[in-house]
Amino acid sequence: MIRFFIKNGNNSVKFDAPTDELFDHLGSIGIGEDIPVTCSEKIYLDFYPTDDTDEIAKIVCDRLLPEDKISDVNRLCNKLDGLWRITAEEFESALSENDVRGAVNIDAAFEKLMNELRQTNDLSM
């Protein structure tokens, strides 16, 4: 869903989120903690959709905040990976409604949208 490229000194790693090995990837280049998705003096980090046609991944990448932790983004990607129950338009609309930004807030908006869709489907049956 989202590809991360992280460089720490002379060491670098590239991996796709969601991953169950997040902290193994970080540890392999000498990072022993959860890090924000911003670049710093010591650590360079870049992220982008793994597929140019993945509209949900593009929306997420555009709405992440500099202080978002990489673990929160990974957790969000795990929920959204292979999403087929909603369209990119529905997802973008749900986020645009309140200008939702940040991995944790996107996660909460997604859960709210899914609950609304479940209730709508329950009522229509």
Q: What is the pLDDT of residues 102-119, one digit of tens each?
A: 999 999 999 998 888 888
- Is the pLDDT at 8 greater than 50, yes or no? yes
Residues 13 and 73: their CA atoms lie apart, in Å, by 17
Distance (Å, whole) CA 74 – CA 23: 11
In tens, the pLDDT along 45-74 reads 999 999 999 999 999 999 999 999 999 999
Cα–Cα dist 90/113, whole Å: 9
Give the mean model confidence (pLDDT) for residues 13-42. Answer: 94
Q: What percent of the chain has pLDDT over 70?
A: 95
Helix axes 88-96, 55-63, angle to 10 degrees: 20
Global pTM reads: 0.89
What is the chain's mean pLDDT, rounded? Answer: 91
Angle at 76 between CA 81 and CA 35, to 5 degrees: 125
pLDDT value of residue 122:
63
pLDDT at 121 (0 to 100): 67
Please report the pLDDT score of residue 125 as a whole number.
47
